[in-house]
Amino acid sequence: MMNRDDRVRTAILRHALRARPINREPLAAETRLTPKDVEEALGALHEVGAIYLRDGAVVAAYPFSFVPTLHRVIIAGVTTYANCAVDALAVPPMVDESAQVSSACGHCGVPVTVAMRGGRVVEAQPAAPVIFHPDRDCCAPGPAVLTRCPHIQFFCDHDHAARWRDTHRELRGALLELADAAAFAGRHFDAAIRAVREAGDDHSRRSRAADRGGGL
């Protein structure tokens, strides 16, 4: 059984995955918690950096953004947003369906698209994009969504990443090949990915049970 904060976080991630807005009351109903518990969980999740609240609204629940960003993930026709390039690569492993990550080169702005199935990269356009990932101590202190995420982006290739780095010499970090970035994203968000997938299984089991007219 997940604890209060994990239940609320997983419910938020599942809403984000389907591009549904976050409202307190449905969240309380879904998690079988009181609105007060949900409110406390949101505060606690913000404190540990699992979500980012602004004026009481959930703006980000890593890897998702609830405000549009450059990094889109399209699953079964539904568009969701991620906080950065690595976050975007952590969304496809949450589902069984094919997913398309859609972003743009941080140097020249041409579209970068990555077709994925689970954690596996199926195809990319351009063929071998790279991802800049800043070091831990690269950026000003503060919420990742404001400090680190803006720098974590796709580039067409090593050449375009190098040109961008020439003009951002203050940023320390590494360039990741696409497959390595996808693997890193899967590891970094492993717990969230598994929680979302397991919650999905529970939901389909419950609806199958309801179809048979049986209870839980």
List residues near Zn ion by CB under 5 A: 105, 107-108, 156, 160
Taking the least distance from each CB to Zn ion, the nearer of 156 and 176 is 156
Q: Cβ of residue 154: shortest distance to Zn ion, in angstroms?
A: 9
Q: Cβ of residue 168: shortest distance to Zn ion, in angstroms?
A: 15
Q: Cβ of residue 181: shortest distance to Zn ion, in angstroms?
A: 16
Q: Cβ of residue 111: shortest distance to Zn ion, in angstroms?
A: 10
The sign of the dihedral angle between the CA atoms of 123, 66, 93, 135 is positive
Q: In what order do the strands lie in the sheet with 98-104?
A: 51-54, 57-61, 64-65, 78-82, 71-75, 98-104, 111-117, 120-125
Taking the least distance from each CB to Zn ion, the nearer of 107 and 133 is 107
CB 159 within 8 A of CB 184: no
Taking the least distance from each CB to Zn ion, the nearer of 105 and 195 is 105
Q: Cβ of residue 176: shortest distance to Zn ion, in angstroms?
A: 16
Do strands 130-134 and 154-155 pair parallel, antiparallel, or not at all (unpaired)? Answer: antiparallel
CB atoms within 10 A of CB 137: 7
Q: Give the angle subtended at the CA of 9 by the CAs of 191 and 21, to the nearest 5°.
A: 130
Taking the least distance from each CB to Zn ion, the nearer of 33 and 156 is 156
Taking the least distance from each CB to Zn ion, the nearer of 9 and 72 is 72
Beta bridge partners of 100: 74, 115
